Structures are given as C-alpha cells and as structure tokens.
Amino acid sequence: MKQLAEKQIQDSQQFLTFLLDDQEYGLEIFKIREIRGYAPITPIPNVPPHVRGVMNLRGTVLPVVDLRMKFRLPAVEYNKFTVIVIATVGEKTVGLLVDAVSDVLMVSNDAMREAPDFGAAVDTRFINGVFQSKERLTVALNLEELLTECDLAAAEPVAA
Amino acid sequence: MNWFKNLNATPRLMSSFGVLLLLTLGIGALAIVNLGRANDRVQELYQKDMQGVILIGNVASARLDLAKQDRDAMINVDDSVRMNADVAAVNADFATMASNLQEAEQCFDTNEGKAMLAEMRQTLPPYEKAVDAVDQATVAHDLPRAKANLLALTSLAAQMNSQIDHTLKHKQSVAQDKFQANSQAYRFARLLLIAACALSLVLGLILSIVIARGFALPLGQAVAVLENVAAGDLTVRLDVDTKDEVGRMAMALNSAVEKLNNTLQQVADSAANASSSSQQLAAASQAIASGAQEQAASLEETSASLEQISAAVRLSADNARKASELASGAHNSSEHGHEGTSAVAAMADISTASAKISEIISTVDEIAFQTNLLAVNAAVEAARAGDEGRGFAVVASEVRILAQRSAGSAKEIKGLIQDSLRKVERGSELVNRVTVLVGEIALTSGEQSTGIEQVNTAMTQMDQVTQSNSAQTEELSATAESLSEQAAQLMELISTFTLNQDGRNQRERQSFQPHVASFAAPTQQRGPVRTTAKAVRGVVAAKPEAPAARTKRLKTRQPALAVAIPVGSAADDSSFENF
C-alpha cells in the first residue's frame, strides 16, 4: 500500500477536504483510512482536552481527537451529521472529529502554495501548504506534526 | 404768685392761716397795748388827778369846815363843850388839810402843780396860826379879839381858798388835758385797729378767695371733667398749671382719662378689626359654599360622564372577550356547521403535518449524508487503489453526485417546508399577537373598569366632602355672623363714648354698622352670596370716601354709606371672582 502511494506521487496528489469551522482543510488521501458518521465516544480520564475519548471501530479501539479543540476553535454541538475521519498517523490510527467532509480532490503540485503564517489558529508546522479549490483556500494539514506523541499516548498502537 | 400756687395744700393753708393769725396777733397786740395805755391813763387820771382833786377837795372842805368850826366855836363861846369840840374840829381839820396836802404831794407831777402845792403848804402854817389865834381868843372868851383875828385871816383864808381853787382848777385842766390826750390816743388807736382789722379782713378775704379758688376751682373743673367722662365724653382734659396736689391730681386725671380714651380707642379698633374679619370670614364662607355647590354640580356631570365611560368600557371588554374566544376557538359557531375551524387548530394541524414531513425529509437527508460518506469512502479506497480503482472512483463519484442531488432536493423541500412553516408561524404569530392584544384589551378594559370604580368611589367621597364642606360653611357663616354681631355690640358700647378725634375710628364705625343684617342664610342661594360679597366689596371700596365724614360726632351713626351698598340687582360675576 505504501509503495502504491509513493507511486502515485508524481505531479499531483489527492486530498480529502473537510470542513472545520467553515474553513476547508485537506488531508492526503493515503493517510485516510475511512470516513464515518458520528459514533458514540467513550471519554478517557487524564487526557488532553482535545482528546475526546475512544471509539469502537469494528472491534478496534481508537482515540478520537477533536480538531476544533486542537485548533482552539470554538466548540460546537456534535450531531449525527458530524463526521469522524479515521486517519493513519505513523503506525497509529486516530479518529478526527470534523464538521463535515467536502470532497476528494486532485491537486497538482503546482497548485500547492507555501503556507503563510495564520497566526494562532494553526501553527505553520502543521501545515504542508495551501491550495485553491472552488475559490477557497484549503489548508493541507501535516498530521504527524499535528498529533504529538502525548496525543497519541492514549491510543493503542494498532497495526493498520 | 406762682410759687404760692405751686405750694402744696398744707403749706399753703398753713401759711395763709399763719398770715391771718399773725395779723390777728398784731391786731390783738395793738389792742392790748392801746388798752394798756388807756388803762394807764385812766389809772393816772384816777390816781393822780381825781385823787388829787379829791384830796384838794378834802383840803377845801376841811378848810370850809374849819372856817365853819372856827365860827361855830365863836358862836358856841358859851358852851365850852361845843366850843372845845369845835376847836378840836378845827385842829382836826388842819390836820386833815395837812395830811391831805401831804398825800396830794404824790398826785401832782407837774412843776406847776408842785409849786401850787408848795404855795398851799406855805400858806397853811400862817393860816393855821391865824386860825389858831382866833381859836385861842375864842377859848379865852375874847370874842372881840377873836373877831378881829378872824377878820385878819380873811385874806389868808382867801388866799388859801384861791390857792385851793387854783389848784383844783389846775388839776381839773390837767385832768382835762389828760382826758383829751386820752381821747385822741383812743381815736388814733381805734383808727389803727380799724385799719388793721380792715387790712386783715381784706387780706383774709383775698387769701381765702385765692385759696378757695386754688382748691375749689380745680376741684370744680375736675368734677366737671369727671361728670363729662361719666357722661361718655373722653375728650375733655384739665388744664394743669400748678405743681401742688391739685395740679398733680389734674395730671393724674388727665392721664387716667387719656388712658381710658386710648384703651377704648384700641377696643374700638379691635372691634372694627373683628368686624372686618368676620366680614371676610362670611365672604370666604360664601365663596366656599358657592364653590362647593359648583363642585357638586361638576361632580354630577363627572358622574354622568363616568357612567358613559363605564358603559363603553364594558362594551369593549365584552367585545374583547368575544374576540379572544374566537381566537382561542372556544366559541362554537353554529353558522359554519363544523367544529375545529379555529385558526389555532388549523395551524396546529399544519404544524403537525409539517413536522411529519420534516421527519421524512430529515430521514432522506440522513440517507443522503450516509450515502455521501460511503461515496467518499469509496473515493478514498479508489484513490488508494490507484489505477485499479479508477472505475470504482467514477462510480463513487456518480454515487456522490446522486447523493448530493438527493441532499439538494431534501434541502429544497426542507426549505419549502420551513418557508411554509414560517408562514404558518407568522400567521399564528399574528393570531397570537391579536390574541395577546385582545387579551390586553380585555385586561385594560378590566383595569379601566376598576379605575372607573375607583373614580366613582373617589367621587362619592368628594361628594360627601362637598356636603360636609357645605355644612361646615353654614356653621362658619353662623360663627361669622355671631362674631359680627358681637363686634357690632362692642362698637355700640364704645360709640356711647366720645373719643379723641381719630378719623379712622369714626369712619370704620360708620362703615361696619349696617352689615350685621347681611349674614342671613349664607348657603341657600347664590344670589345673596354675591350681593353680600358685592356689598362688602362696595364697603371696602367706599372706605376712602369716609374721610369727609370725619368731623361728625359718633352719636350720629347713620352713615352716608347706605348709598354704597347695592342690594340685589347689579351683582356681576367678575367682581365676585376678583373679590
């Protein structure tokens, strides 16, 4: 699978875009394992606040990270339209709470731009770059930098 | 004489009596002295002159007797006894003559007298001798010698006789002189005494008159003043011109009368004030009474208006209730024929249907969402699958499109439903608002009714207050009337006195006399109220006219101001309001 993914990286990449507080973010498609609707989350004590808890995905227990909280965005009520993006970070799998998923996009490398400094919302080391889609700037996220070890400490290292 | 007039009574009387006493004393002294002198003269006349005359008369009679005895002895030559007796008698007579002469010595004070006496005494011894010679001759029975001796002593005898006569005459003249001197002195003394008496009489008269006048006159004046005061005239005063008790009495009387005058004047002023105050009181109570009447009339009008308002409010409350029932659907309308025609019920039905449709739509929405998710998942798998997954990716994207379409349709329907719901809501909102407004109207009407009730109550209270005001005003009027009567009585009492001319007093007394009668029935009608007010105002305005009447005495109390009191007719409202 990884080899296939490297093969794909020629002059474009595919991104899954999702919506977070009316801002589009993008994740590399190969990082995405699955997209699910909202599922019950079991809270875990003594974890950072943006780690909402854990969820059961067909027998697998993964941590669920609230990207809103991570990005220090105002919290919203999560309903049945909330989407959980199951992503792979290194060897660990994690669920990301997002508002909604938008699209799967093919973005050429030319279209990718360097990330400017957004300020407090997103730390620039989390951002691989920005690209334009449908007259909106989408932020390409760097999940590895985004989710530190301590975030993932709650998660069981599960083999993909 | 002022100092005299200023003496007090006692010194004055005593000095006057003193003067009179002194005069009396003087007259008495004068009389006594003169009487004494007269007595002295009489004494002298008697002791000296009369005694002298008697003594010399004794000498004369003794001489005559001895001459007789001498002759008797010659006659009685034969009778020795008688002859001896006669001779003895002759001797006795000579002794008598000598002794008398001796005694007469002290009766003769003048040199002439004394010379005569000395002559007689000188003549006596030879005479005696000669007589003795005769007697001897007789005793010797020598009658011719006796006779010759007798004839020889004739000259001596004659001498003796003439001396005696002279002496007697002298004494007589002396006595006469003395008597005349006495008479003169008596006349002079009498004159003096008369003069003194006259003087003292006149002085006494003057003093008595002065003193009497000094007391009686002022007393009389005081009596006159007091009588005047008793009669009521307090303007009289005494003239004070002395500093004695009478003067002080006059001053005291003056000040007493003055004080009385002032006090009565002040009382008159106070009575006048009371009268005017009671007038004002009466007028004010009239005003209140008429005001109360007007108030009562206004209250009635207000009451009527309130009735109308109340009816209108009741009507609107009724209508509001009906509208409210209509809005809430409690009113069962038989005309429409079926139930549940209320807007609320209808809207509730629409809401329920809309809710159901919403449910279905949300289900569709969910399905679309899940489908989308699946499609995205498929796209992800297809992307990861690379070349092999391209066809799959197309299918996935088609599915996504379908899902989006259905989501879009669901959204449209949702929009439509929301739109219709909104419209329904608006309608119900409007109905609600109407209901609320109607409810508010009903509430307001209720409040209005309550308010009207309160106003009614207040008006009833006001009515009661007005009535009690009227009653109080009647009492006030009665009180003012009695006050005025009493003030008038007081004024009458005072008017019996004549006080010092003070125009104010007179004028006011004249002004306020007639108004005692105008206090009848103050609250009955409005007419008398206004005329009385106008009358009082006419009096108030007429005050400046009264100075002309200042010269009148108070006894003439029918004033010229009867003209200034318009009774009845010309009462104009504006003046009353201004008053």
Domain ranges within chain B, ordered by starting residue: 2-196, 314-331+339-467
Higher pLDDT, B507 or A136: A136
Q: Which among B376, B379, B386 is the nearest to A8, CB-wise?
A: B386
Chain A partners within 8 Å of B376 (Cβ): 16, 35, 101, 103-104
Q: Do A7 and B384 lie within an 8 Å CB cutoff? A: no
Spatial contact of A69 and A49, defined as CB atoms under 8 Å apart: yes
Chain A partners within 8 Å of B372 (Cβ): 101
Distance from B383 to chain A by nearest Cα, in Å?
7
ipTM exceeding the 0.90 mark: no
- C-alpha B218/C-alpha B5 separation (Å) is 12
Chain B partners within 8 Å of A29 (Cβ): 380, 383-384
* CA distances in angstroms from A120 to A124, A126, B7, B412, listed in the order given: 9, 12, 131, 38
Chain B partners within 8 Å of A14 (Cβ): 383
Q: Do A8 and B376 lie within an 8 Å CB cutoff? A: no
- C-alpha B113/C-alpha B168 separation (Å) is 10
- C-alpha B99/C-alpha B91 separation (Å) is 12
Between chain A and chain B, how many beta carbons pairs sit less than 8 Å apart?
Answer: 39
Please report the pLDDT score of residue A151 as a whole number: 54
- C-alpha A16/C-alpha B179 separation (Å) is 202
Residue of A nearest to B382 (CA): A29
Q: Does residue A9 carry a pLDDT above 70?
A: no
pLDDT, mean of residues B496-503: 69
Q: Does residue B569 carry a pLDDT above 50?
A: no
Q: Does B384 touch chain A (CB under 8 A)?
A: yes
Q: Does domain B2-196 correspond to CATH entry 3.30.70.1380?
A: no
DSSP 8-state secondary structure symbol assigned to residue B223:
H
Q: Do A29 and B376 lie within an 8 Å CB cutoff? A: no
Other CB atoms within 10 Å distance of the CB of residue B368: 20
Domains within chain A, CATH numbers bracketed: 2-152 (2.40.50.180)
Q: Does B392 touch chain A (CB under 8 A)?
A: no
Q: Do A34 and B377 lie within an 8 Å CB cutoff? A: yes
Distance from A13 to chain B by nearest Cα, in Å?
10
pLDDT band of B540, cuts 50, 70, 90: very low
Tell me the three state secondary structure of residue B376.
Answer: helix
Q: Tens digits of per-residue pLDDT, B82-92?
A: 888 888 888 88
Q: Tens digits of per-residue pLDDT, B260-306?
A: 888 888 888 888 888 888 888 888 888 888 888 888 888 889 888 88
- C-alpha B572/C-alpha B285 separation (Å) is 19
Quote the pTM value.
0.37
Question: Looking at beta carbons, which pairs linking B421-425 to residues 24 or more positions away fall under 8 Å?
Answer: B421/B350, B421/B351, B421/B354, B424/B347, B424/B350, B424/B351, B424/B354
| Average pLDDT of chain B, as a whole number | 77
Closest residue by Cα to residue A160 from A51, A32, A66: A32
Distance from B411 to chain A by nearest Cα, in Å?
14
The chain A residues in contact with chain B (CB within 8 A) are 1, 4-5, 7-8, 14, 16, 29-30, 32-37, 80-81, 83, 101, 103-104
Q: Which residue has the tokens 């011109």?
A: B241
pLDDT band of A117, cuts 50, 70, 90: low
Tell me the three state secondary structure of residue A18.
Answer: strand
Radius of gyration, CA atoms only, chain A: 15
